[in-house]
Structure 1
Amino acid sequence: MMTDVAKDRETRSSKKRGSESSLSSHEFQQKELHGHTKNSLSTVSYMDEPSQRDDASRLTVQMENTYQLGPTKHFPVVTVDHILKDVLTNYLQEEEYEPELCRQMTKTISEVIKAQIKDLMLPRYKLIVIIHIGQLNSQSIHIGSRCLWDPTSDTFSSYVFRNSSLFALANVYAVYFE
């Protein structure tokens, strides 16, 4: 007589082989001895491989040509000019010049501007935001910058703000990353 463990092993091995009789030869012989002879055996069939799908249901992989000679969408300078004007006006309209406050405001304003420009979802542009805030006392100042870039794809935007006690210059450089 077979133990339960041996029966489990036999059924597992028979499932791996495909169709198989539901009664083992030993059990079939026992049924014959007791007078319960059957002329047919029941079979169990199964499929070991996953279901066959048609080719249309398979996932498709889309390849992107990453070697591009320039941006497909140009940097929106006019939109960025409006962002600079709005942010500088909102943050500095009522402010008086204080060195420590202005130092913190340059960091805050640059992060706000960068976040709003990133919301425009411009692919492959690296952004550099520089803010200068200074005291306004009937003096003059010249601020210059130099960059090495490709004039066909790289650009910048700039805005100057003034109130009664301070001035602010905001520059955004957009460099296309190839």
Structure 2
Amino acid sequence: MSQNKCVSKQTRTYQPTYQLNPRKRFNVENVEKILKRIINSELEEVEYSEKLIPDLCLNLTENIRTAIKEENYDRYRIIVAVTIGQRRQQSVHMFHSFLWDHERDAFASHNFENCHIYANVIVYGVYFD
């Protein structure tokens, strides 16, 4: 004589745990100050050399990225683009286009010139959820 017992299993439902806003927003003014400080100190005495500029761009990119990551912008992907060229009475136009969230994503830029080179540095803070 077996008894059939209906055992009902309770299922737990969890609410989503995602977060739509960062705890610390990407502060454009602070990032611009960091860019200005690093770029002006590193490029003040630099002359253009085809052999040295690629390594200089990589070093600047790493220095800027680590300085901005020390600001602890949580859940942001930091993208740094450094362009350095020789000044020769030319004009340069740069255009960047992205699809992003205007409420959470931001960018900061800094332009530098001396009598030998020009430099354009852009830092993107893209919210990464």
Q: Please give the TM-score of this superposition, normalised by the length of structure 1.
A: 0.62
State which of 49, 61, 78 in structure 2 corresponds to 1:98: 49
Following superposition of structure 1 onto structure 2, how do residues 20-31 of structure 1 map, counting pairs within 5 Å?
A: none
CA distance in 2, matches of 1:90, 1:75: 23
State which of 102, 110, 135 in structure 1 corresponds to 2:61: 110
Is 1:173 aligned to 2:124, yes or no?
Answer: yes
CA distance in 2, matches of 1:124, 1:91: 29
Larger Rg belongs to:
1
Of all paired residues, the percent bearing the same amino acid is 39
CA distance in 1, matches of 2:68, 2:17: 23
More contact order relative to length (CA 8 Å, sep ≥ 6) = 2
State which of 78, 84, 92 in structure 2 corresponds to 1:141: 92
Offset of residue 71 of structure 1: 1.9
CA distance in 1, matches of 2:45, 2:39: 11
1:38-72 Cα offsets, whole Å, 9 max, x none, are: xxxxxxxxxxxxxxxxxxxxxxxxxxx74112223
Following superposition of structure 1 onto structure 2, how do residues 21-170 of structure 1 map, counting pairs within 5 Å?
A: 66-170=17-121
Equivalent pairs counted in the alignment come to 114
Letter of the 1:123 partner, please give it.
D
Q: Please give the TM-score of this superposition, normalised by the length of structure 2.
A: 0.85
CA distance in 2, matches of 1:122, 1:85: 19
CA distance in 2, matches of 1:92, 1:73: 30
Q: Which runs of 5+ in 1 are unaligned?
A: 1-64
CA distance in 2, matches of 1:116, 1:99: 27
What secondary structure, in the 3-state scheme, does the structure 1 residue paired with 2:45 have? coil
Letter of the 1:155 partner, please give it.
A
CA distance in 1, matches of 2:95, 2:73: 26
Instruction: Kindly report the root-mean-square deviation, in angstroms, between the aligned alpha carbons of the 2 structures.
Output: 1.1
Q: Which runs of 5+ in 2 are unaligned?
A: 1-15
CA distance in 2, matches of 1:89, 1:112: 13
Report which of the two has the higher share of helix.
Answer: 1
